[in-house]
Chains A and B, each alone.
Chain A
Amino acid sequence: MILLDSVWYRYPSGTVALQNVNLVINRGEIVALMGENGAGKTTLLKHLNGLFKPTSGRVEVDGVDTRTTTVASLSRKVGLVFQNPDNMFFCTTVFEEVSYALMQFGFSREEAEERAEEVLKTFDLLQYRNSSPFTLSGGEKKRLAISIVVAWMPSYIAIDEPTTGLDGWGKRRLIDLLLNLRDSERGIVLSSHDVEFVSEVATRVVLLLRGKVIADGPAVDILTDPRLLEEASLLTPQIPTLIQELKRKGLGDLNHKCLKLDEAVRCLSEIFSKTGSHFRGEGG
């Protein structure tokens, strides 16, 4: 469990980036930190592996206070993927890039090679094992950055803006990977503006506004609340918008919330089953 207890953070320039943040992040959940630029999402992520220490309050990772240990030892438990994957690469080949951190953490050469091979296969990057990481496409670089972290199997994975530079298929693939990681009992924290992506993947959403948590709850509750989303300068995802629009026009009286595609199909089937004849009548 990662615990943030009354966390405040002030940059040396004097800017207060986090104000009294209280959060608990458990394994097996995908928590999305959302909010406008400068809301404090990246600052919060950097607290999880001790890169930033709170100005006041405390952050604990599985009971260990981040102020009492090194970033290297915390990173063993909390893997952080940076927004710009280029900042993480410096090795000659993709394979060396993945095995580098494994060697840092003291894995044997054989085990590091085995894990690197396995993770490259999982992330569909094995064909690039001898290529330079800098020659990969944007989506491949993002996958490589995540695979570097997944290779040492941390209990928690924090990903800063995972969808930046990804095309539609890249996002789809990333969603599947994240859901697999969640199923393997890892806690995942991601920061994103991408409401559609978050709708598909997150189990929980935390809304930040100027360093404060303004909402924290199940994704289906937060992402179907236009008022809250507007406060955090976010747009409502398309599926809840469609359902709300249908409701506003009197087409269907739905009390349950829809966020994902399968839920939307269920909602729409319900509406059509009630008003199908009406639609057909109008159409004819």
Chain B
Amino acid sequence: MSLSLLQALKYRSLDTPIHRLDPRVKLLAAMSFLVTALLFGRYWGGMLTVSSSIILSQLILLKVAKSSRYLLTTIRGALPIVGLVFLLSLLGLLEPTAQAGEVLYWALASSIRFLAFLTSFNIFFLTTSPDEFGQLLSKLRIPYVYTFTFVAAVRLAPVIADEAQDIIDAQRSRGVEFEKGSPVKRIKALVGVFVPLLINSLRRAYEMAEALEVKCFGASERRTTYRELQASRKDVLASIVVLSGLTLMIWANGLGAFNGLP
């Protein structure tokens, strides 16, 4: 799994109908994609139908959110691990009664299902800001100390990435070559990036802890909040659409629509 997979999950601030949606609706949609991808489709035909529909729905929604290219980046980044799932599924060929065609289709369907599973939260992560995420966690009654820790970590990720780049530049300026030499030499070169990055991060964590104390973090048990999530009519409508889609899938699954071969 390459870093591009994670890069493709980074929030991008845009003004689109999907970005404006309440994060609870987006979480509901992502959970629906995840549940559908994991539970529905007992045989390869149904599995392929369900998984392809999920990926296609994501693509349409991300198109509206002007972020569809990041779905493709995720798919590209996930290809090695999806390939591994495909190869592992081919182990079914070792069974004495196995039919080659059937195992091949099964391996393909499993790979697509895994891809649908991996991409199910793309719409949520790509269009929900760390602040909205924090508000969502607060609404879910998660203690503020955990919410804050999570949001701070997400916010600091790009800062640490920039710092890592600075350190790499500093080491390259001292004659370190990251792209040349044996794998052992390259790993050794990365130590020169990891050590200062760790020390700088620890220092920043201490400074942030002190700043939080100065700002009376945790002074009262029930803190007030500046912004709270307010669902609009559009959000309610979007939730109804998502729930209807999920109900339809459950109903179709109950009728055995995803059980047979295509």
Enumerate chain A residues within 8 angstroms of B196, measured Cβ to Cβ: 86-90
Contact B166 A71 (CB under 8 A): no
List 24 contacting pairs A-B, 8 Å CB cutoff, sorted by A: A46-B169, A49-B173, A70-B177, A71-B172, A75-B174, A75-B175, A80-B170, A82-B166, A82-B169, A86-B196, A86-B200, A86-B203, A87-B200, A89-B196, A90-B193, A90-B194, A90-B195, A90-B196, A101-B174, A101-B175, A104-B175, A104-B176, A105-B175, A134-B199
Verify if B191 is at the interface (C-beta below 8 Å from A): yes
CB pair B199 A72 closer than 8 Å? no
The answer to whether B192 and A90 have CB atoms under 8 Å apart is yes
* Residues from chain A with Cβ under 8 Å of B172 in the complex: 51, 71-72, 75
A61-92, CB under 8 A of B: which get 1 and which 0? 00000000011100110011010101111100
A100 CB within 8 Å of chain B = yes
Is B174's CB under 8 angstroms from A104's CB? yes
Q: Tell me, in angstroms, the Cα distance from A102 to B203 when the chains sit together.
A: 29
User: Which residue of chain A is the closest to B177 with respect to CB atoms?
Assistant: A72
Count of chain A to chain B residue pairs whose CB atoms are closer than 8 Å in the complex = 57
Q: For chain A residues 88-114, which have a beta carbon within 8 Å of chain B?
A: 88-90, 100-101, 104-105
> Residue A213 at the B interface, CB < 8 A?
no
Asked if B79 is at the interface of the complex by the 8 Å CB criterion, the answer is no
Question: Which of chain B's residues have a CB closer than 8 A to the CB of A84?
Answer: 166
With contact pairs A86-B199, A87-B200, A89-B196 given, residues A100 and B166 touching in the complex (Cβ less than 8 Å): no
Q: CB-CB < 8 A to B170: which residues of A? A: 80, 82, 87-88
| Cα separation A234 to B112 with both chains bound (whole Å) | 60
| Binary flags per residue of B163-196, CB closer than 8 Å to A gives 1, else 0 | 1001101111111110000000000000111111
Of A82, A86, A105, chain B has the most CB atoms within 10 Å of the CB of A86
Interface string of B89-117 (1 = CB under 8 A from A): 00000000000000000000000000000
Q: Known contacts A87-B196, A90-B194, A90-B195; can you find 17 more A-B pairs with CB under 8 A?
A: A46-B169, A51-B169, A71-B173, A72-B177, A75-B175, A76-B175, A82-B166, A86-B196, A86-B203, A87-B200, A88-B171, A90-B196, A101-B175, A104-B174, A104-B175, A104-B176, A148-B174
By beta carbon, the residue of chain B nearest A85 is: B170
Complex CA gap A98/B167 in Å reads: 16
A49 vs B175: C-alpha distance in the bound complex, in angstroms?
A: 11
CB pair B174–A88 under 8 Å, yes or no, is yes
Chain B residues 176 to 235 lying within 8 A of chain A, measured CB to CB, are 176-177, 191-196, 199-200, 203
Complex Cα distance, B175 from A46, in Å, reads 14
B167 touches A87 (CB 8 A): yes
CA distance A46 to B169 in the complex (A): 9
Q: In chain B between 39 and 55, which residues have their CB closer than 8 angstroms to a CB of chain A?
A: none
Bound-state CA distance A104–B172 (Å) is 10
**Contact indicator B173/A87 (Cβ below 8 Å):** no
Closest chain B residue to A103 by CB distance? B175
Docked Cα-Cα span, A79 to B191, in Å, equals 21
How big is chain A's contact interface, by range? Answer: 20 to 34
A residues adjacent to B (C-beta < 8 A): 46, 49, 51, 70-72, 75-76, 79-80, 82, 84, 86-90, 100-101, 104-105, 134, 148
Q: B173 touches which one: A80, A86, A89, A90 (CB < 8 A)?
A: A80
Give the distance in Å from the alpha carbon of A82 to the alpha carbon of B163 in the complex: 12
Closest to B198 in A: A90
How far, in angstroms, from A104 to B175 measured CA to CA in the complex?
Answer: 6
User: Looking across the interface, which residue of chain A has its beta carbon closest to that of B192?
Assistant: A90
Sort A-B residue pairs by CB-CB distance and give the 7 closest, nearest first: A104-B175, A90-B195, A101-B174, A80-B173, A71-B172, A90-B192, A87-B170
Report A190 CB to chain B, min CB distance, Å: 15
> Which residues of A have CB within 8 Å of B174?
75, 88, 100-101, 104, 148
Which of the listed residues A46, A51, A76, A105 has the most CB atoms from chain B within 10 Å of its own CB? A51
- Residues in A with CB closer than 8 Å to B203 are 86
Docked complex Cα distance between A92 and B217 (Å): 36
Considering only residues 121-156 of chain B, those with a C-beta below 8 Å from chain A are: none
Query: How long is the Cα–Cα vector from A70 to B175 in the complex, in angstroms?
Result: 9
- In the complex, A129→B141 CA distance in Å? 53
Least distance between B60 CB and chain A CB atoms (Å): 28
Q: Which of A46, A49, A75, A87 has the most CB of B within 10 A?
A: A87
A residues in contact with B193, CB < 8 Å: 90
Q: Write the nearest CB–CB distance from B222 to chain A, whole angstroms.
A: 40
Q: Chain B residues with Cβ under 8 A from A105's Cβ?
A: 175
B176 engages A72 (CB within 8 Å):
yes
Nearest A residue (CB) for B193? A90
Give the complex CA separation of A82 and B196 in angstroms: 13
**How far, in angstroms, from A90 to B168 measured CA to CA in the complex?**
12
- Nearest B residue (CB) for A80: B173
